[in-house]
Structure 1
Amino acid sequence: GFLCALTGPDAGWGLPGITGNMIFIDAVNKTGGLLVGGVRYPLAQYEFDDEAIASKALQGARELVLEHDVRFISAIGGNPCDAVHPFLSDSKVVYASLISADIKPDRPYCIAGGDVTPRIDMLRPMVVKWFLPRPEDLGRPLRWAVTSQDDTIGRCCQAWEVGCAIAEGWEIVYDKHYSIETTDFAPVVTAMMATNPDAISFNLSYPTFQCLLWEQCYLQGYEGIISQNYIDWEANLQKIPAQYAADRMGIDAFPRMDDPWFGSPSWQLSFTNIWD
């Protein structure tokens, strides 16, 4: 089962997952199927668009299990995980989240780890410091401003990031969440810039949201470093000049799969070739 946002501000994470999963499924089926107990079982994927809404996620989980008899559900997590785990636990269906913090003692069928969020959010306050003057030279702490949407993913991952920033000696000058219904991000960026931060973070803002936040930073003339969990460069570069993006460093938590650093042959290059 594939239970993710395929529409809405979170769709930029959900839609590519269909392609990624199908690459894996096609590779497994070419061998005759998934080997379980000495028997190979062909894989099939059934999809449901939960729009990152908890109630729709529960509706989707019921449909996938009761109508299609799925035994494994691939998902993003967060609010949807909170909603579906009682039903999936009773049904003994595995739910694979991207958010490792979704794992809890009362969720025996929830797994995570393919993505290391929010642990990777702990690293960026440390990495960003490498590109700024030392606090000792400035005579003050470096200033960190961070925002993300007000949901389970945003609240959890931002808390991990802020904790790390404090441990790294940053002064937290802005630590707030915007409503999931926000469409105008100008006031959000204005408020962040008013704190005179050395670095702005958009934490785990949804793909649509982070694009609009970057656009506002450009329009309002922000000149510091920008970082976040994930940056959608293809979308962002339709809103901002490439030079502005480069000047802001654009530090995120994921490498490009087609980075020459991986070399050839490599699993990353093979995956990219199939994807393309």
Structure 2
Amino acid sequence: MSDTPLKLTRRQTLVTAAATAATLVFPAISRAANKTVKVGALAPLSGDLALWGLPAKNGAEVWAKLINQAGGLNVNGERYDVEVVSFDGAYVPENTLQGARSFVDQDVKFTMVIGGDDWSAIQDFSNRNKLLTSTLYVSDLNPDAKYLLAPIEVHPFYFGLGADYLRKVEPNLKTVAMCAQDDVTGRTSLAYWRAAFDANGFEIVNDTYFDNSTTDFAPIVSSMLAAKPDVVCIDTTYPSVALLLVEQLYTQGYKGRILHAGLELLPDMVARTSKEFMEGSIAFFPRFDDPNINKFTPGFPDMAAFYAEYNKTHPNEWNNTSWEFPAALEVWKQAVETAGTFESDALLESMKANPPKHLFGAARWWGKDLFGNDNALVGNWPVVEVKDGKVEIVEIGDQAGWFDAHKDIVEKRFREESLMPDQKR
């Protein structure tokens, strides 16, 4: 964590001086040191997915620093400072399992993973050791994942909101081409996009998976554009891949809207193409230097201050995962302070009875229809659109409500990819 000194206001200086004087006069009266509770960032800190893992870990550390400066957690009348421990799972199963073992040895009370292949590596271990864990991939949830939560992002369930928005603002668009990497992320994402396009009357004219080892994306883009789509969806392709796909779309003369989960490298996309080319692209992650961001994030006390501190500590390193581990920690903080315990079983029981507030407001536990348990904390989620080289929030919609309205279509598309709970057993 950063050792940056805290700058005191004049009032804070006077209060501090008074407190010091009181301690000198009454030496027997002193503030007891806080206890410490550990939380863990088990994430890829090296390799291709370090672009997600490092900012997530850094964000958790900044969150802990601010919480500790504000007095720590208040759990059953006792104060706790939060210590973030991290382990580089590198998105390699053996490494991730080693990290989980390390966390149990260190008595880590809450673990955060990106999700996907790294969760599958530790599910059995988590169950045996009651390792309460959060994931960014709601598709990790399953009937046997007893201690796994999706407390913030329920990827890919916001895609339905994006397709609705696109249909509303571009009612004459008819066709879409899309692609994704052939892994659990890509398969789950494209299944939901298909349902979203079905629900809005889009015809899918090209639907392509590519191998994770792919480095030349010109043929993939050529295949998509050969179908003359009105819209191109590049799904949840990993950030470096999305950049190469966008570059190829520009090089090959595409003129329409682009859909992507995050547009993490939007500044690089603009630099390699143009503001005009990226204008109107749709994604689902807001920027946090928006002057109205606190209005949009009622489940995170003073997100603007967190954003400022993060950028002071890690300049030019902010991306979408920078806030997701902290947002998960904020849910966990609400839960432990309400339950008065860090223990997994009691904490889960309390969380289900008293749903914590989600980053974007009130939320409910959900997911049994698709995942076999209700361990996803589902609230509203924003749709963002690129305007003049930056994303702007254009709508905030109800993800669970969208699913409820289109449940049959989603289930049909999920069954095509063997993603339903009964198909996973």
TM-score normalized by the length of structure 1? 0.89
Residue 47 to residue 257, structure 1, CA distance change in 2 (3 Å): same
Task: Output aligned runs, 1:132-151, within 5 Å.
Answer: 132-134=170-172, 142-151=174-183
Equivalent-residue separation in structure 1 for 2:143 and 2:281 (angstroms): 36
Shift of 1:263: 6.8
Task: Output aligned runs, 1:118-133, within 5 Å.
Answer: 118-133=156-171
Equivalent-residue separation in structure 1 for 2:48 and 2:86 (angstroms): 18
Task: Report the number of matched residues.
Answer: 266
8 Å contact from structure 1 (residues 186, 216) kept in 2: yes
Equivalent-residue separation in structure 2 for 1:154 and 1:56 (angstroms): 23
- Residue segments in structure 2 that go unaligned for 5+ positions in a row: 1-39, 296-300, 312-425
Say whether 1:243 aligns with 2:276.
Answer: yes
Shift of 1:32: 4.2
- Residue segments in structure 1 that go unaligned for 5+ positions in a row: 136-141
1:39 corresponds to which of 78, 83, 86: 78
Paired position in structure 2 for 1:2: 41
8 Å contact from structure 2 (residues 42, 113) kept in 1: yes
Residue 194 to residue 215, structure 1, CA distance change in 2 (3 Å): same
8 Å contact from structure 2 (residues 138, 155) kept in 1: yes
Equivalent-residue separation in structure 2 for 1:106 and 1:186 (angstroms): 41
Secondary structure in structure 2 of the residue aligned to 1:117: coil
Equivalent-residue separation in structure 2 for 1:263 and 1:105 (angstroms): 36
8 Å contact from structure 1 (residues 258, 268) kept in 2: no
Equivalent-residue separation in structure 2 for 1:69 and 1:120 (angstroms): 35
Secondary structure in structure 2 of the residue aligned to 1:260: coil
Shift of 1:113: 2.6
Paired position in structure 1 for 2:110: 72
Higher relative contact order (CA 8 A, sep 6+): 2
Equivalent-residue separation in structure 1 for 2:206 and 2:101 (angstroms): 40
What does the per-residue CA deviation read over 1:96-139, in whole Å, with 9 as the maximum and x for residues that have no partner?
A: 0011222222111100131131111222222222343426xxxx
Say whether 1:158 aligns with 2:196.
Answer: no
Paired position in structure 1 for 2:242: 210
Shift of 1:167: 1.4
Equivalent-residue separation in structure 2 for 1:201 and 1:55 (angstroms): 33
1:272 corresponds to which of 302, 307, 315: 307
Shift of 1:261: 3.5
Equivalent-residue separation in structure 2 for 1:112 and 1:213 (angstroms): 29
Shift of 1:205: 1.1
TM-score normalized by the length of structure 2? 0.59
| Overall identity of the aligned pairs, in % | 33
8 Å contact from structure 1 (residues 10, 208) kept in 2: no
Amino acid at match of 2:268: A
Shift of 1:37: 2.9
Paired position in structure 1 for 2:287: 256
Equivalent-residue separation in structure 1 for 2:176 and 2:170 (angstroms): 12
Task: Output aligned runs, 1:169-248, within 5 Å.
Answer: 169-232=201-264, 233-246=266-279
Shift of 1:251: 0.7
Over aligned residues, Cα RMSD in angstroms?
2.0
Shift of 1:212: 1.0
Equivalent-residue separation in structure 2 for 1:236 and 1:45 (angstroms): 33
Residue 98 to residue 170, structure 1, CA distance change in 2 (3 Å): same
Residue 185 to residue 25, structure 1, CA distance change in 2 (3 Å): same
Equivalent-residue separation in structure 2 for 1:159 and 1:75 (angstroms): 23
Shift of 1:53: 3.2
Work out which of the two has the higher radius of gyration on C-alpha atoms and give 1 or 2. 2
8 Å contact from structure 2 (residues 176, 204) kept in 1: yes
Residue 268 to residue 30, structure 1, CA distance change in 2 (3 Å): closer
Secondary structure in structure 1 of the residue aligned to 2:56: helix
Secondary structure in structure 2 of the residue aligned to 1:116: coil
8 Å contact from structure 1 (residues 193, 222) kept in 2: yes
8 Å contact from structure 2 (residues 180, 190) kept in 1: yes
Stretch deviating more after TM superposition (126-135 or 21-30): 126-135
Stretch deviating more after TM superposition (228-237 or 211-220): 228-237
8 Å contact from structure 1 (residues 146, 202) kept in 2: yes
Shift of 1:228: 0.9
Equivalent-residue separation in structure 2 for 1:54 and 1:45 (angstroms): 22
What does the per-residue CA deviation read over 1:162-191, in whole Å, with 9 as the maximum and x for residues that have no partner?
A: 111111111111222211111111111111
Equivalent-residue separation in structure 2 for 1:49 and 1:177 (angstroms): 28
Equivalent-residue separation in structure 1 for 2:131 and 2:60 (angstroms): 18
